[in-house]
Amino acid sequence: MIPRLKPTIGARELIASLRPPRRDDVERFEQSFAELMGQEYALAFPYGRTGLILLLEALGLKDKEIICPAYTCVVVPHAITYSGNKPVFIDCETDGFNMDLNSAEQTINEKTGAIIATSLFGYPVNLDQLDEIQKRHPHIFIIQDCAHSFATEWNGRPVQKEGIAALFGLNISKTLTSVFGGMITTDNEDVYKKLKIIRQQRLKRPGWGKGFRRLLYFLAVYPAFWEPVYGLINRLERLGVLNYFVKYYDDTIIDMPSDYLEGMCGLEARVGTANIGRYEAIITTRRAAAQYYFKCLIDKPDFKMAPKVDGATYSHFVVRVDDRERWLQLAIRKGIQLGWLIEYNLPEMEAYGDHKPDEFPMTADYARRTINLPVWGGKTLAQRIMRRI
């Protein structure tokens, strides 16, 4: 079975994971990541959500309203809540997956502390519009959520450099991976120094047990995504057997992983450093797949695509369909696992359920109808998938 995602890892990452640890493994990863993103500073965290919690603290934000998309990963509002702030949800724009920035600006008040601008699925947020918002509201921090976007560009401008800081996720499903982990980048020296101090105060040093668990997990990834094996993995996932590994939220509670305050381990940093060397090839591969899908699906009314955007990096190629379950089952019969990444409308989740269902119509529509086509194998994989479905 063709998996919906597959990390781009190989011998270099395997060798890195088995190499004897060095005291500066994490620092070397941070330096390499900052260089890749064209920024002055980068700080590694056990999860991206941990980095966001501590970043909000470093910015002095407490008991504030933090504007974020209603259609984004649930860990974002969870982190906002854990930081002692309140998430304020904004619906998507009508012609794309990103947050409606006009609505976001209308929501700003004296309690607003920051806007988390997410470039969802690798589609860049409108930086020109963000610039105007920043000019009119200079006291508001702009934080770029680049968990899906990794150096995506808006009219040639790297998104991650436009704001006080940028947030990245690095788990096995992300464009780049360090097995688990997250990163905060910034060009602001004061923010970097404050965040580094807070990290030293709040995070405990990872023990040998964490490194061992990460190694076992990482070694299991190699056979798990092999196509002859993945059919079994898919069946186990559908039966709920793998929920411990793949289900990352409960819509009734706001929580964090048990180890969210345990620092990144050396193994993760070494794998991440090795994986950075693949970045250009990864993006080229994903863009090639996306361009082929655009070409093939342009005259297929069953698939509604977002507009093409120059500079997008396509963590996922997402389309809307009228009957998601039918397409998912059809693909399984053809030996393809189609994914859906954000199948929830955050304001309607029980944990945040003080909103009316009709307040976020675009988010509700995307949550119900989107599927994503695999992009990890480039044009060659996209051709295989289009021939089958």
86 near 109, Cβ under 8 Å?
Answer: no
Report DSSP state, residue 92.
B
Of 101, 69, 121, nearest to 305 (Cα)? 121
The radius of gyration of the chain from alpha carbons, rounded to an integer in Å, stands at: 20
* 263 DSSP assignment: P
- 369 pLDDT band, cuts 50/70/90, is very high
Q: In degrees to the nearest 10, what's the CA dihedral of 367, 373, 376, 382?
A: -170
Alpha helices, H only, the chain: 11-18, 25-37, 48-58, 75-82, 101-107, 127-136, 189-202, 208-224, 227-238, 243-246, 266-276, 279-297, 324-333, 361-369, 378-388
Measured CA to CA, the distance from residue 86 to residue 82 in angstroms comes to 9
* Domain boundaries defined on the chain: 11-202, 279-388
**Tens-digit pLDDT profile for residues 288-328:** 999 999 999 998 989 999 889 999 999 999 999 999 999 99
What does the alpha-carbon distance between residue 89 and residue 346 come to, in Å, rounded to a whole number?
Answer: 8
pLDDT tens profile 237-292: 766 666 666 666 788 899 999 999 999 999 999 999 999 999 999 999 999 999 99
Section 73-100 average pLDDT: 97
Residue 377 has pLDDT above 80, yes or no: yes
User: What burial class does residue 321 get, using C-beta atoms within 10 Å of its C-beta: 0-12 exposed, 13-18 middle, 19+ buried?
Assistant: middle
Who has greater pLDDT, 236 or 148? 148
Query: At residue 226, does pLDDT exceed 70?
Result: yes
CATH assignment of 279-388? 3.90.1150.10
What average pLDDT does this structure show over 350-358? 76
Average pLDDT over residues 373-380: 97
- Specify the pLDDT at position 239: 67
Q: How would you class 355 by CB atoms within 10 Å of its CB: exposed for 0-12, middle for 13-18, buried for 19 or more?
A: middle
Residues with Cβ within 8 Å of 346's Cβ and at least 6 positions away in sequence, in order, are 69, 70, 71, 72, 74, 77, 87, 89, 352, 363
Alpha carbon distance 68, 146 (integer Å)? 13
Alpha-carbon distance of 46 to 52, in angstroms, equals 11
**Residues 6+ positions from 303 with CB-CB distance below 8 Å:** 297, 319, 320, 321
pLDDT (0 to 100) of residue 249: 74
Q: How many Cα atoms within 13 Å fall on the side-chain side of residue 303? A: 19
Lowest mean pLDDT among 98-112, 180-194, 250-264: 250-264
As beta bridge partners, residue 98 has: none
Q: Which of these CATH numbers, 3.90.550.10, 3.40.630.30, 3.10.310.10, 3.40.640.10, describes 11-202?
A: 3.40.640.10
pLDDT of residue 247: 64
Q: What distance in Å separates the CA atoms of residue 161 and residue 153, rounded to the nearest whole number?
A: 10
- In this structure, the chain runs to a length of 389
DSSP 8-state secondary structure symbol assigned to residue 308 = P
**Residue 143: pLDDT over 90:** yes
Q: What is the model's pLDDT at position 39?
A: 98
What is the per-residue burial (b if ≥16 Cβ within 10 Å, else e) of 218-239?
A: beeeeebbeeeebeebbeebee
Q: Give the position of tokens 């990103």.
A: 98
Quick check: 122 pLDDT over 70? yes
Q: Binning pLDDT at 50, 70 and 90, where does residue 164 land?
A: very high
| Percent of the chain's residues with pLDDT above 70 | 96
332 — pLDDT class (breaks 50, 70, 90): very high
- Give the confidence band of 356 by pLDDT, cuts at 50, 70, 90: low
Q: Residue 163, Cα to own-chain centre: how many angstroms?
A: 18
Six-digit token pair at 224? 């798990």
d(CA 382, CA 373): 8
User: What mean pLDDT value characterizes the chain?
Assistant: 94
Q: Which pLDDT belongs to residue 243?
A: 64
What is the pLDDT, as a whole number, of residue 235? 74
